[in-house]
Structure 1
Amino acid sequence: MDSEDTPHQVAAGTEGNFIHPIPPPARPDLPTPVLSIPITYDRGMTDFPITRHTQSQSRPEFRIVTGDPVKVALSNAAADSMKSVAIGGERIRVPFICAVSRKGPGSRHRDVRPTYEEDFYHRSNLFYTLIQPRLGMNALAMPHYPVSDTAAVFCDSIAVCYGPREDNYEKLDPTPNLPVVLVSPVLRPKVTGNDTAFSDVEDKVCMREKICSALRICLHHEYDRVVIGDFGLGDWHRNPPQAVAEIWRDLLLFHPDLCGQFKCVVFAFVDPMQSTTQLFRDRKQKINEERRARQAAKEGTSSISTRRTLSSQPAPTDMAIFESLFDEKEIERVVEQAALVNRHLLSWET
């Protein structure tokens, strides 16, 4: 990929509080025409019923991996397709649930690092797909933005022109494509003192509905495998990793529309060392230092130290938190605990 097309270069040359990384003018190496028409589901929880394709209550195979989520989705689809075709079945496609900005493609505060969403725009025709005007709409309008709190956008075929940064943005030939579900996570909610949960119940409910909507859309389009990145985590969205992981886990294990419907769910982390929890701690540290500095200035003293103090325990990485909560033994414990609660409820009813 040309260096001027990278999200970092776009970010560096853009002024203002928010960055809207618009790709360069149409390039001959980007696929045309657009392969699919995006579908906006304004209420993914209620826009459509879910027809169960299996009565199985089997748990999906959970995988926590390091890697580019789009590359993981394409690789998994290729491997599963090979097995399926070998026994006379159909080719398999694996959707990617992508966290997006609510206001517009790649919008973020200029002080925040470029997001995976931006990188994906520059590697694919996703941006061009999303800006296709609807019939009767102004050609300059953004038909799918802003994304409401209850909405999600589904694109059945997004062409991926380039590989990830780890592969030096190698041009892909032939050009693969994959389904993509676009959802805007809750943005920077307040968290509890230990940084593991949402402070406001409304934020937790909203995040749960967003995730549930994305999974329901996958099933509605008959996909039973899915790849998810660091959805809602990292420098921009800053949701509590443990609470987010628990939402994914509990929905996939217990939600009546979802349990038993997925064969494989993969969480792919581009940066295995990313720690949203550390971001919370750093912010608290900064606030405390600023408070001490103001107090020192007020008292006219200069002896108070504002030197950064290091925690005796490093903050867990997002990936480590997901590995812990999706560990096989932990899954067994959660399922057994839920079964015990159900038995108690039944005994009370009888």
Structure 2
Amino acid sequence: MTSQRIEWLDLVRGLAAIAVVVFHYQAYLQVRHAGYGLTAVDIFFALSGIVLALKYTQAIESGMGPLEFAGVRLRRLYPMVLVAGTFIVALDLAGVPSGASMPAADTDAWAIFLVMPVSTGGMNSAFPADPPMWSFWAELAANAVWFVVLKFGRRWMFPLGVASMAILIFATLRANNLNLGWEAGGLYRLISVARALAWFSVGCAIAMRPSTLRMSAVMLVAALTVFVVVAHFAGGREGLNQFLCATTGVALLNLAYRLPSPGMALGAISRWLGMLSFPLYMMHAPAGRLLPYVHGLPRWATLVLVVGAAALAATLVNESLVDRVNRFYRERRKASPARIGEG
């Protein structure tokens, strides 16, 4: 993956995280037409497919083991889970009540640390203390399935993607809603993995299959046209509209992946947005529990202040933790041969 592609993907990742926040706080912000922000989660899954396909496909095919792959993923992702979980426990100990603007309960913080979608509280959420956590769990589960299937050969990736997408489309049309997977219950866990795998497989295809910039632009225009036409004429079919919106977003992602370098200034902004995206996604729900404590500001300013400060602080801590964990791991690997020799 070249640096220019990383920067454009970072920009899309950051904008998608902001879209999720606006979607979750649309009632608090009193904004309309933010409902399609939920499809940003599907863009996250496709982004993950692009990144992992480029970084690990050859390594897995060359013999990377499951423990090594799991270690690589957890070293990069789990520190943020630790930060979010600690923040939630701190809120609980301080007696901050559950969120009202964006539901985030003061129960089941243990589920965050263990990344276990088992709810004992209310809200019908798999992760009541931090509802967006469901997609993180689903992504890790999809990564594990992808690893196993790839070990059998790339030819199995296509049927995996088709089967997952078929399940997702069926569930979406049946429920008339794409916003599936966050709920508590075994069936929704399966749907969440299917949703993650479906878009993850599309991301893998974007990364591994050749496509020109012109072709990607045509695909985006076609997807956008279909979405606008169907959204206009297919009244009441909200699930279909949401699915087509997600498809348009992934087509935009495909185009962004092919674009030339964004330039120094936009590239720097993109990198910062990309760095903030994961902490923003993980922190915005529990941070919303603090909104009632801020007075005298417009709601937009309050949300930016509270959620933005929590995300920025989490980003700084997370990057430091990731760096320390990676440094410890590298030093341990360097020391291992010496210890073996001494033994």
TM-score band w.r.t. shorter chain: under 0.3
Task: Name the one with the larger helix percent.
Answer: 2
Task: Name the one with the larger strand percent.
Answer: 1
- By relative contact order (CA 8 Å, sep 6+), the higher-ranking structure is 2
Normalising to structure 2: TM-score of the pair?
Answer: 0.23
Normalising to structure 1: TM-score of the pair?
Answer: 0.23
| Greater Rg over alpha carbons, structure | 1
